[in-house]
Amino acid sequence: MRYTCLVHFDPAAMTTPGFDKRRFDRRSKDYDEELKAGGHFLGWQGLALGDAAVIVRVRDGKMSATDGPYIESKEQMAGFVMIEARDMNEAVRLAAGLPLAEIGTIEVRPVSESSIPAPQLA
């Protein structure tokens, strides 16, 4: 089964004193390699911060565009990792290994059946 790990976190966490960004990035990269070696890694995508977003709506044929973020909160969606896992509990275990889980929140969601076949990411 396929699952998407939506990563939410507070960007301020990356700039707190004592946070070793280089080490964090290396661990993240290592873990991606581990997921790949285990046949779990399907792809990932990081996103720019929410204030770089434009929010688009069409109502009654009329388009509106406002500057972001969509949801005003400290934690924001920063990207996603797509994984293959035997079941939800394995997906949860794999998500817990993401270093991002230590500074943010990972929302693990099953990929809806209708959206299979696999996407071409990364």
Partner 1 sequence: MSGLDLDKIYRAERGRVLASLVRLLGGFELAEEALADAFLAAAQQWPRDGVPANPRTWLVSAGRFKAIDKLRRSGRFRAMAPELRRELELEEDQMPPDREIIEDDTLRLIFTCCHPILPADAQIALTLREICGLTTEEIAAAYLSKPATIAQRIVRAKSRIHDAAVPYEVPPPAEWDDRLETVLHTIYLIFNEGYEASSGDALIRHELCAEAVRLARLLKELHPGPDIDGLLALMLLHQSRAATRTAPDGSLVLLEQQDRTRWDQALIAEGTALAELAFARPPVGSYTIQAMIAATHAAARTAAATDWARIAGFYDLLLRAEPTAVVALNRAVAIAMRDGPEAGLQLIDPLAAGELVNYRFAHAARADLLRRLGRADEARAAYHHALELTQQASERKFLERRLGELR
* SS3 per-residue string spanning 104-120: EEEEEEECCHHHCCCCC
Task: Check residue 111 for interaction with partner 1 (CB under 8 A).
Answer: no
Q: Which of 23, 29, 74, 93 binds partner 1 (CB under 8 A)?
A: 93
CB of 41 to partner 1, least distance (A): 13
Task: Check residue 105 for interaction with partner 1 (CB under 8 A).
Answer: no
The whole-angstrom separation of Cα 27 and Cα 5 is: 17
45 or 105: whose CB is closer to partner 1?
A: 105
The whole-angstrom separation of Cα 19 and Cα 56 is: 35
Site string for partner 1, 41-80 (x = CB under 8 A): ----------------------------------------
Specify the residue for token string 């293959």.
Answer: 84
What's the chain's Rg over C-alpha atoms? 16
Look up residue 12 and give its DSSP letter.
G
Site string for partner 1, 7-46 (x = CB under 8 A): ------------------------------xxx-------
CB of 107 to partner 1, least distance (A): 11
User: Which residue type occupies 17?
Assistant: P
Look up residue 22 and give its DSSP letter.
H
Write out the residues near partner 1 by the rule CB under 8 A: 1, 37-39, 86-90, 92-93, 96, 110
